[in-house]
Amino acid sequence: MTAAAALAGLLHQGGRPTWQLPELTGLNRLPPRATVRRGPARTVDLDGVWDFRLVPRPEDAPAALARRTGWHRVEVPGLWTMQGFGRPHYTNVQMPFATRPPCVPEQNETGIYRRRFELPRGWRRRPVVLHFGGCEGALYVVVNGEPVGIGKDARTPAEFDIGEVVRHDGPNELLAVVVRWSDASFVEDQDQWWHAGLPRSIALYSPSVGDVEARAELDPDLRDGTLRVSAGVEGEVRLLDARGRVVLAGPLEDGRFEGRLRRPAQWSAERPSLYAVEVTAGGETVACDVGFRRVEVRDGLLLVNGRAVLINGVNRHEDDDVRGRAITRASMERDAVLMKRLNLNAVRTSHYPNDPYWLELCDRLGLYVVDEANIESHAYEHELCRDGRYLAAWLDRVRNMVERDKNHPSVILWSLGNESGYGPNHDAAAGWIRGRDPSRPLHYESAVRSPSHADSSRWGEGRRVTDVVCPMYPPVEAIEAWAEADSDDRPLIMCEYSHAMGNSNGGLAEYFAAFRRHPRLQGGFVWEWADHGIRQTDRAGRAYWAYGGDFGDRPNDRNFCADGLLWPDRTPHPAVEELKHLGQPVSVEAIGGGRFRVHNRHELLDLAHLRIAWTLEADGVEVARGVLPVLRTAAGASEEVAPALPAGGGERFVTFRSTLRRATPWAEAGHLVAWDQLPAGGRPRRTALRRAVRPRREDGALVLETHGTRAVVDDRLASLTFGGREVLASGPAVQVWRAPTDNDGLSLMPERGRGFGFGPLARWLALGLHELVREVERVSVRGDAVEVVTRASGRARPADVRHVQRLRLSGDGSLHVENEVRLGEGMVDLPRVGVVMELVPGLGELEWLGPGPHEAYSDRRASTVVARHRSTVDDEYVPYVFPQEHGHHPDARWLRLTGPGGGLEVRGQPTIGFSAGRFTADDLTRALHTVDLRPRPTTVLSLDAAQRGLGTASCGPDTHDRHKLLDRVYRFAYVLRAP
């Protein structure tokens, strides 16, 4: 048989195209089996450079095999959509094409991969298994012109026995044909880029030992453990501890082994103690890691080894800004280490089983895993879960996950998938898992789905398929009401919350406070780990990250893929500090009289592994420091301490910082684990006005001048000089607009019904806040003050803002500016209230006393500390994939902008919010990508009386009312002077 004929036979069965046959989930695929380590003598790595060609349709593939031209060389693992063929396509809910399941477009890119291989000499008369770790698209395999099989689950292995078709005395030809769209695409409709290709490793192996199931279980009393191994062969089993010592051994009888171990080291995220199971049979030894632990839902709590765990987790897609989903081991290692360094303890594999190496890392470093089946039918979520044609797909995909990952101790919950409705297909899948692996509870969000995020009325449903209540994006008030109702005997763990799109994650502190108040609120998984931008360069060679629509992909959901805690290159967003701080395992509170209480929030560890140091600062200047004695406070307990704090004046703060005493596999000694800052006396001070200088008229303007300070006021603060050096390029003007954050309203997607309607942005635009026209009504002298009255209104829109500035020059050269902003009818819940000015070029060095060092907002500032912080105007830029508001610092006592040309100091009365950057709010509003921005030579300084909180309304709750600007009158003051 020719390769073309073999492929044609696989592509059509019974006259039907197999890529549109949902009842057929695969052909000739071997049963799924657990991941084990095999020796190099029994494996052949097929990763590397393959021949490749792309044809428009599956029907074109057989004929294309014989053509000599049109072939290219590509990397495997790899995706053709990231290697110059076809294009990536981003959608969230909607499918990328209009046909209904199971039909897909006739124009359906099909990639043909080809390579040759030879078998080792010792493999003659032995089984040969061909392993594909995953395939983005439907997979068709031909070896030496013989049809081998089909696989359709993109994110779990497809394995085929090719022992009857391979040659042992010469080269073999392997063809892997990938059909991009298939019936399987409708149940792989995850919120991610659509790619195509071979993203995971491909290998051959020759097994004597096939599937290995190794269960390391703790007794109900959590003292001793039992190891049960099933391998289906006669052989030997050994259990080795972390030092490589054999602690259990024995024969496999009828393919099974059972042994007892007294007081095994227990596995948990805090103490990930692993043992190695080795199985030897037929001259081959395979191995896998196991951990003794017990997972159960009991008394309304999720328990690991008898202890309730607070899940501080994230959702993680597999994504790389250059390689797409063909991620490397180094990338996975970087992710896992960074999660541990950020005090995260759990990850949900959204929304499919991740590369097996990811689970190895979670086992080794200590991360709890919600392992999710590769099922999401979001565009047809209430149809396919009830479609009998897709029942086999549901069962196949959960089986593939469970059998592959069953030995990993990090996996504590099996998830039936994501956003696929709830129907009999789920009941069947859940029933299979419960019968196959009763050692882990089940998770499935759609079974508890409510009509709205705030409605908990249906959270009690779905017990057949979920053992935890796992809603998406509920407000804090909803989860607390659920906990107080006490009508459900399951724990609540939010599968997604705090949507991290752009400048986001407002309100995290309120969630963690609720977790602390209600034990059955056991945390959740932030959406999500990293932005999914694809690295591109513009014509000038500047790099940026592209999102949906940038590749001509239609339809698309634009920048909704940029919704992570990290940039695509894994640089953390500022909000990461908030999540790290709130999830820290030790905290300190003041209890009065110079005494403090240290809380150990670990599940198992005492505090002896931490060095807890303290510093005392007054007005930002350190006056004392010390280190607490070694604390052996038990997990869950507290201890009082009394550091020797000297008396003194000024605004005082004591800051406790906890660092690692010794290095761990994920951090060096000295790594900062936790910090808390507590007030220790005093308040921010106001700057006194000393002997105000009376204004005078000069050339039609009003002038305030004394001791080298000169302020000229006409219809604005036209100029301000210190010692003859100009500092203002344009004077302070009222500002009530900010470049919209993604949570204010998704600027790029109004046509999708996701745009301006869900948030305040639509109202702000209707008011005309983005195009205010300012008109000075009056400049006059009022006693010792110059008063400037300005009216601002939207260009042909109803915005109405009245701004009164009163300027007084103190005898010491300080310019005191009092502000009153009155908002007209309908002007409520604005983005910000303050003033904006531009400083002359050259003032790029920044220092301030106030919360920092990272940007912060009223609903995302728990992680900041009040101190003297240093930065530069350029470094204040936060390059969110979609440009938006950034760089705000609330409650500064003072700030200084300096350079060779002089400088400017601003003092709050007593505090002021600010941002200092190279872009105006309008610059940021107009830009679609970071490369659209052109930094100004001036410094744009915004001084804010208040700015709206962030919330997470791009996909979740808006900010709380207490973080909205609901007043109609705002009064604030600041002082300008030479630094």
What are the structure tokens assigned to 790, written together? 């300005």
**Is there a contact between 652 and 682 (Cβ–Cβ < 8 Å)?**
yes
- What's the gap between Cα 810 and its chain centre? 50
Residue 346's identity, in one-letter code, is A
Q: How many CB atoms lie within 10 A of CB 909?
A: 17
> How big is the chain, counted in residues?
979
Among the listed residues 496, 528, 603, 855, the single catalytic one is 496
- Residues 6 or more apart from 488 whose CB is under 8 A from it? 300, 459, 460, 469, 482
Residues facing residue 717 across a β-bridge: 713
CA dihedral 483, 485, 486, 489 (to 10 degrees): -80
Q: Read off the DSSP letter of residue 860.
A: B
Kindly list the distances between the CA atom of residue 390 and the CA atoms of 138, 183, 799, in Å, as whole numbers in the listed order.
15, 9, 54
Instruction: State the Cα–Cα distance between residues 945 and 757, nearest whole angstrom.
Output: 27
Count of beta carbons in the 10 Å neighbourhood of residue 65: 21
Half-sphere exposure of 942 (CA within 13 A, CB side): 28
Residue 191: half-sphere exposure toward Cβ, Cα within 13 Å: 24
How many other C-beta atoms lie within 10 A of the C-beta of residue 365?
18
- The string over 748-784, giving b where at least 16 C-beta atoms fall within 10 Å of a residue's C-beta and e elsewhere, is bbeebebbbebbbbebbbebbbbbbeeeeeebeeeeb
First-to-last alpha carbon distance for the chain, in angstroms, is 85
CA dist., res. 599 & res. 607, Å (int): 10
The answer to whether 118 is a known catalytic residue is: no
What the block records as the tokens of 184 is 């399987």
Name the percent of the chain in helix, strand, coil, to the closest 5: 15, 40, 45
Cα 811 to the center of its chain, rounded Å? 53
Three-state SS for 879?
coil
Strand runs labelled E in 458-533: 492-497, 521-526
The dihedral formed by the CA atoms of 468, 470, 475 and 479, expressed in degrees to the nearest 10: -10
Residue 795: exposure state from Cβ atoms within 10 A (0-12, 13-18, ≥19): exposed
- The residue annotated as part of the active site, out of 136, 159, 360, 419, is 419
In the beta sheet, which residues pair with residue 288? 277
How crowded is residue 305: how many other Cβ atoms within 10 Å of its Cβ? 18
| HSE (side-chain half, CA atoms, 13 Å) at 740 | 24
- Of 789, 790, 786, 793, whose CA–CA distance to 772 is shortest? 793
Residue 940 to residue 942: CA distance in whole angstroms = 7
Cα separations in angstroms, 583 against 310, 472, 600: 9, 20, 12
Of 674, 665, 656, the residue nearest 602 (C-alpha): 674
Query: Which 3 state secondary structure label does DSSP give 234?
Result: coil
Measured CA angle at 609 (ends 604, 610), to 5 deg: 110
Does the annotation count 419 as an active-site position? Answer: yes
Tokens, residue 765: 């635009």
How far, in Å, CA of 297 to CA of 543, rounded? 48
Per-residue b or e along 432-444, where b marks 16 or more CB atoms closer than 10 Å to that residue's CB: ebbeebeebbbbb
Give the CA angle between residues 350, 352, 354 to the nearest 5°.
Answer: 90
> Residue 739 and residue 737: Cα distance in Å, rounded?
7
Cα–Cα dist 280/469, whole Å = 42
List, by residue number, the catalytic residues.
419, 496
